[in-house]
Structure 1
Amino acid sequence: MSYDPRLHPQIVQVFEAMKAAGVQRVESLTPEMARHQHRRMARARVEPEIELGLIETFAIDAPGRRIPVRMYHPPGFEDAGPLPVLFYFHGGGHVIGDLDTHDRAVRALAKKANCLAISVDYRKGPENRFPGAVEDCFFATKYFVDRAERYGIDADRVAVGGDSAGGNLATVVALMARDQGGPKIIFQLLVYPVVDYRGGYPSYKEYGKGFGILEEETVDYFRRGYLADMAQLEDWRVSPILASSFEGLPPAIIQLAELDVLHDEGVLYAEKLREAGVPVEVKEYKGQIHAFYTFTHMVDDAHRAQDDSAEALRKAFGTA
């Protein structure tokens, strides 16, 4: 099979490994089958252990439900006093993904940024469609910040972040926190975020087929799994690029894969933030595809991207 010459050679190796492992297109599977495949792929990645001070997995009580979370404490946290915190929302199109599929990435961020990290396993479609994920992520963020002393959190140094669908949720939580008077968020870490679920950007045409895990058909599969009605695409909590204002949002880093259907909407979102006076840094990784951020077992740029995330967090937290 021939590959586009713009693809990084290590991504070609990823494609070959996926083919050898029998990985199927997500859109060809049921949600449960897709989740199982995603977890299997994550477990198959053999890498050195990332040692932290403490990792706790538990659930918090929300109205009518419990929200699973995983809290990552950096080394030496016992003597550090209140620590800055990153609330991390995993990717997966609001349909797949969980605490385990993104465990290593969140471990790395907690250690490299020397902060607490709280990963939130929000409700997913099609069993729990929009706005379940939004409600869970905002509730969890507020829950922990309201109990900052109990959990060793510095409530003045709170960041939200995530990749893909998780980046979408981070942008929405930041907007909700601004509009509802808290919790106070000082930074957004957005890794190839979905900010306009309507699609239709030139990058959809350019990279919508043959460029990896997220193709144009895959986005449509996730749309249909997440939303009960396609009219919801116009809701800013689904497509945050449609928010009426971006003023007063926290500074952000937006990390983009060059060869990604979501590339162009990420660029446009950065422009909208800048126009509203929000400091934003954009980093693009050449030859990379959607989802590369979690491929640290095979892709050097995944390590670089996580290092860039951690550096941005340290600067935001004042611990650089």
Structure 2
Amino acid sequence: MPLHPDIARVLAGLPAPPPGPLDPAAMRAAEEAQVPPVADRLPLRSVEDLTAGQVPVRVYTPHESDAYGLLVYFHGGAFFLGSLDTHDHVARSLAKETGLKVVSVGYRRAPEHAFPAGLDDCYAAVRWAAGNLGREGATLAVAGDSSGGTFAAAVAGLARDDGFDRITHQVMFYPSLDLDFDVDRYASLRENTVGYGLETAGLKPFNAFYLDSGADPADPRVSPIKRADLTGLPPALIVTAEYDPMRNEGELYGRRLKEAGVAATVSRYPGAGHGFVQHFSWIPEYHRVFEETAAFLRGTS
């Protein structure tokens, strides 16, 4: 189907990016300026700002219950953008629809913090959540959008390597799984080059802050699709977008997981581009992604 008309209308109204190199401080400030006041956000039973060791986290409790499963969420933003606030609405919707306690992680970002600082924070937050908020045998899912999806996949791999077997599910919304941006590697890099929000030519400069900090695209902690052995990883839900340059790498990762014996579901959202969970989940057919996630985590998808 064509690009959803509501998405097309919003994209058509966006100003051209300023000339010159990317300015992380200015881009972060512009993002934060769009965050609605707390009074206008989806209400939940409680929302608390805590620390997981030294890592800031925001814990969302959806309703009154004697016990909760956990979902640890990593926001997107090309490893240098995004925050607990810019993705607060995503975490709230995940909590409401899944019924799980959601732990959103304020990990350290590039370029101020070199690789693997952000990944280390995400993994540490999962271990902290399991030890302080979770219980044996309950759901402990990791989830993320875009670069947060990279972290979700990488954390699942680190946990397997460490023998930490508490993670029950991994959820990736349009993940960046291969940071080798050779345009001939995946057809979607050619098919969705321009006109859909995230453009293929923008992948290198947007990820340069992370790669220049020491993240090697050949390292499976950076590009999880490079992991040679995918056996033993937790069941996965991989959500892709029809008009995303990174669509095919997510779908390939799903196939590779299945070939390794991992239960994996790949769900492509038609008419959507990269970032639709963050920016366009107010559209009913895209808000459904939270319901699909809930069904996956309940084992009913």
Give the structure-1-normalised TM-score: 0.86
Give per-residue Cα distances to partners, 1:21-71, cap 9 Å, x unaligned. Answer: x47379853011111122223439x9964221110012232xxxx211000
Q: Please point out which of 84, 90, 93 is paired with 1:105.
A: 90
Cα distance change on mapping 1:298 and 1:83 into 2, 3 Å: closer
Give distance in 2, aligned partners of 1:155 and 1:218: 43
Alignment match, 1:60: 52
Alpha carbons 1:195, 1:265 under 8 Å: kept: yes
| Higher strand content, 1 or 2 | 1
Please state how far the C-alpha of 1:229 moved relative to its aligned partner.
6.3
RMSD: 2.3
Please state how far the C-alpha of 1:111 moved relative to its aligned partner.
1.1
Please state how far the C-alpha of 1:296 moved relative to its aligned partner.
4.2
The one-letter amino acid paired with 2:7 is I
Alpha carbons 1:164, 1:191 under 8 Å: kept: yes
Please state how far the C-alpha of 1:196 moved relative to its aligned partner.
0.5
1:150-299 matches, cutoff 5 A: 151=133, 153-156=134-137, 157-200=139-182, 201-212=186-197, 214-228=198-212, 232-296=216-280, 298-299=282-283
Alignment match, 2:77: 92
Alignment match, 1:33: 26
Give per-residue Cα distances to partners, 1:58-105, cap 9 Å, x unaligned. Answer: 2232xxxx21100001111xxx22311000000001010000111011
Cα distance change on mapping 1:30 and 1:244 into 2, 3 Å: same
Please state how far the C-alpha of 1:263 moved relative to its aligned partner.
0.2
Give distance in 2, aligned partners of 1:25 and 1:186: 43
Where does structure 2 lack aligned partners over 5 or more consecutive residues? none
In the alignment, does 2:62 pair up with 1:74?
yes
Give distance in 1, aligned partners of 2:265 and 2:91: 21
Give distance in 2, aligned partners of 1:59 and 1:26: 38
Where does structure 1 lack aligned partners over 5 or more consecutive residues? none
- Give every structure 1 segment of 4 or more consecutive aligned residues whose post-TM-superposition deviation is greater than 3 Å: 22-29, 41-44, 46-49
Q: Secondary structure at the match of 1:190?
A: strand
Cα distance change on mapping 1:232 and 1:49 into 2, 3 Å: closer
Q: Secondary structure at the match of 2:130?
A: helix
Alignment match, 1:12: 8
Q: Percent identity?
A: 36
Cα distance change on mapping 1:82 and 1:26 into 2, 3 Å: farther
The one-letter amino acid paired with 1:14 is V
Cα distance change on mapping 1:281 and 1:27 into 2, 3 Å: farther
Alpha carbons 2:111, 2:213 under 8 Å: kept: no
Give distance in 1, aligned partners of 2:178 and 2:275: 17
Cα distance change on mapping 1:217 and 1:228 into 2, 3 Å: same
The one-letter amino acid paired with 1:51 is P
Q: Secondary structure at the match of 2:71?
A: strand
Alignment match, 2:126: 141
The one-letter amino acid paired with 1:11 is I
The one-letter amino acid paired with 1:159 is A
Give per-residue Cα distances to partners, 1:264-313, cap 9 Å, x unaligned. Answer: 10111001000000011111111100001123465233211122112212
Alignment match, 2:112: 127
The one-letter amino acid paired with 2:114 is R
Give distance in 1, aligned partners of 2:195 and 2:276: 15
Please state how far the C-alpha of 1:199 moved relative to its aligned partner.
2.5
